[in-house]
Amino acid sequence: MANYSTNEFKSGLKIMLDGDPYAIVDNEFVKPGKGQAFNRVKVRNLKTGRVIDRTFKSGDSVEAADVHETDMQFLYSDGSFWHFMDPSNYEQYQADAAAMADAAKWLKGEEICRVTLYNGSPLAVEAPNTVELAITETDPGVRGDTSGGGNKPATLETGAVVRVPLFVNEGEVIKVNTRTAEYLSRA
Amino acid sequence: MSADWRPAASMEALKGRARLLDRLRAWMGAEGFLEVETPLLSRAGSPELHLDSLHVPGAFPDGAPGWLGTSPEFHLKRLLAAGAGSIYSVSRVFRAGEAGRLHNPEFTLVEWYRAGGAYPRLMSDIERLLTALLPSRLLAAAPERITYREAFMRHAGLDPFAAAAEDLRRRCGAEGGQDRDALLDRIAGFEVYPKLGQGRISLIHDFPASQASLARIRPGEPDVAERVEAIVGGVELVNGFVELVDAEEQRRRFEADRAARREQGRNCPELDERFLAALEAGLPACAGAAMGFDRLAMLALGLSSLAEVQAFPEDRA
């Protein structure tokens, strides 16, 4: 695997530290007086999400992490794994629950997701920013109250629960922002 | 179409920067400093260990390579040796590979030399210049003068001259194997400097002799370099020396720096024999200092990065 010099450090760069893949969140160049220069970086562990500080002597190099992001189509879940296909070469990949994290609850099939691969296996999966899903269960709205203000929980066909306005009913398809888990509109 | 053709700094900041430069020149003129200009492109360069010059192959008409200098120091000292008296210059300097919130590989350095100046005058010049140019909101308290040792004792809880290398290494965490000065630099950069210059000018002085650069060494227990740095708001603004005028000592330091650079596989400018010849001819006793003008403008305008006071920083140069 290639190495990166501290000169190449910038946010988003993927590096290996202590055997784990990390993404640089922030890079600070510190050089006192006429002295030795350092790069202090904030890095996020791509497995655990934990952010730590590390300091490097400028000019040092660090192993690059074999991490890249690619768009894949979600095919199906078999209960333990979620299966994806890279549409450019039809290769299939399986992501475990840790990699899926929150993304799992927004997917029903065929969505294009951003998949982060580490050494060829899915490390993280991002659902599309917005999804359209049918409501399978919600209390009937109160007739006449269409102006908002009030809202109620609704269970979607994937099992996710979001707050929806009172006028939205079971069986309707709605658009949801997956980043904030908020109702956007009727689809 | 690329959107970053525009200046990084606002027009307001660029105007503020220009006004500050006017005031700086007025101050220098009133103090009796003559403004001079020196080449940016030199036939020799500084071998200082932690400053990288930019190499320009085939720069000169005779085909010789040139160096984009890290400071105008050698040329200014040649002028001093030729009898120029108190002088200053405002020039662009280059430091390869330095980029960040407070660094750009090319920036404006104001460098001045007070003929006959010694330590007290050097410090009072720095204080008076910064007091004249920085807004009073940054300087609520009177300037502070603190030795390198006191600053470390107060802000890092260790004596930089007495602490064992092993203690310094432990203090710096996992990465070992660094030399003593690199460890001290690290503690200075992350622990000491950020706490200095809070609401005032801090002048940190009497550096370890091993960090003398081009400063005179004052023998004592321990020896210290007559070197001073001014810090405001945790930002290092000025570095000054009571100048080393001993040609032989200067040559020894250059050779040591060159050897260390070669060992680290870094580029190594030719020895500047013209500068050394000027020292041999006789550099009058003097003290000088260099100030990062971009940082001064950043602080004066209440901004937090050099890019906010530079029209075209490195990423859009």
Give yes or no for residue B176 having a pLDDT over 90. Answer: no
Whether residue A32 has pLDDT greater than 90: no
What does the pLDDT look like over B28-55, one tens digit per residue? 999 999 999 999 999 999 999 999 999 9
Mean pLDDT of chain A: 92
Q: What is the per-residue pLDDT for B174?
A: 58
Residues of B in contact with A29 (CB under 8 A): 98-103
Distances, alpha carbon B317 to alpha carbons A24, B7, B113, B309, in Å:
24, 9, 31, 14
Task: Flag if A30 and B182 touch (Cβ within 8 Å).
Answer: no
- Residue B166 CB neighbour total at 10 angstroms: 9
pLDDT surpassing 80 at residue A144: no
In chain B, what percentage of residues exceed pLDDT 90?
90
Does the pLDDT at position B140 exceed 80?
yes
CB contact under 8 A, A34 and B97: no
Domains of chain A and CATH, by start: 3-63 (2.30.30.30), 67-126 (2.40.50.140), 130-186 (2.40.50.140)
Q: What SS3 string covers chain A? A: CCEEEHHHCCCCCEEEECCEEEEEEEEEEECCCCCCCEEEEEEEECCCCCEEEEEEECCCEEEECCEEEEEEEEEEECCCCEEEEECCCCEEEEECHHHHHHHHHHCCCCCEEEEEEECCEEEEEECCCEEEEEEEEECCCCCCCCCCCCEEEEEECCCCEEEEECCCCCCCEEEEECCCCEEEEEC
Distance (Å) from the alpha carbon of B132 to chain A's nearest alpha carbon: 23
pLDDT band per the 50, 70, 90 thresholds, residue A187: confident
The model's pLDDT over A61-96, given as tens digits with 9 standing for 90+, comes to: 999 999 989 999 999 999 899 999 999 999 999 999
- pLDDT tens track for B239-253: 999 999 999 999 999
Residues of B with CB under 8 A from a CB of A: 48, 50-51, 97-103, 172-173, 175, 178, 181-182, 184-186, 188-190, 193, 211, 213, 229, 236, 239
Q: What is the pLDDT of residue A59?
A: 87
Measured in angstroms, the CA of A36 and the nearest CA of chain B are apart by: 6
Span B133-159, average pLDDT:
97
- Asked if the model's pLDDT at residue B177 lies above 80, the reply is no
A30 vs B48, B51, B190: nearest CB: B190
**Rounded to whole angstroms, how far apart are CA atoms B33 and A25?**
46
Q: In what order do the strands lie in the sheet with B66-68?
A: B41-42, B66-68, B54-56
Q: What is the pLDDT of residues B61-120, one digit of tens each?
A: 999 999 999 999 999 999 999 999 999 999 999 999 899 999 999 999 999 999 998 999
Q: What are phi and psi of B166, to 5 degrees?
A: -65, -40
Sheet holding A20-30, edge to edge: A14-17, A20-30, A38-45, A51-57
Q: Looking at the partner chain, which of A7, A29, A35 has a beta carbon nearest the beta carbon of B188?
A: A35
Residue range B3-139+242-316, CATH number: 3.30.930.10
Instruction: Report chain A residues whose CB lies below 8 A from the CB of B185.
Output: 32-33, 35-36, 38
In this structure, of A47-51, A173-177, B75-79, the range with the lowest mean pLDDT score is A47-51
A27 chain-B contacts, CB cut-off 8 A: 100
pLDDT at B156: 95
Question: What tens digit of pLDDT does each residue of B184-205 get?
Answer: 999 999 999 999 999 999 999 9
Which residues of chain B are within 8 Å of residue A31 when distances are taken between CB atoms?
Answer: 50, 98, 103, 189
Select, from the ranges A25-39, A136-150, B214-228, the one with the highest average predicted confidence (pLDDT): B214-228
Chain A residues near residue B231 by CB distance under 8 angstroms: none
Residue B274's pLDDT is: 97
- Interchain CB distance below 8 Å, A29 and B101: yes
Cα separation, A38 vs A50, in Å, equals: 22
Residue B181: list chain A partners with CB under 8 A. Answer: 35-36
Cα gap B204→B4, rounded to integer Å: 39
Q: What is the mean pLDDT of residues B283-306?
A: 97
Residue A104 above 70 pLDDT?
yes
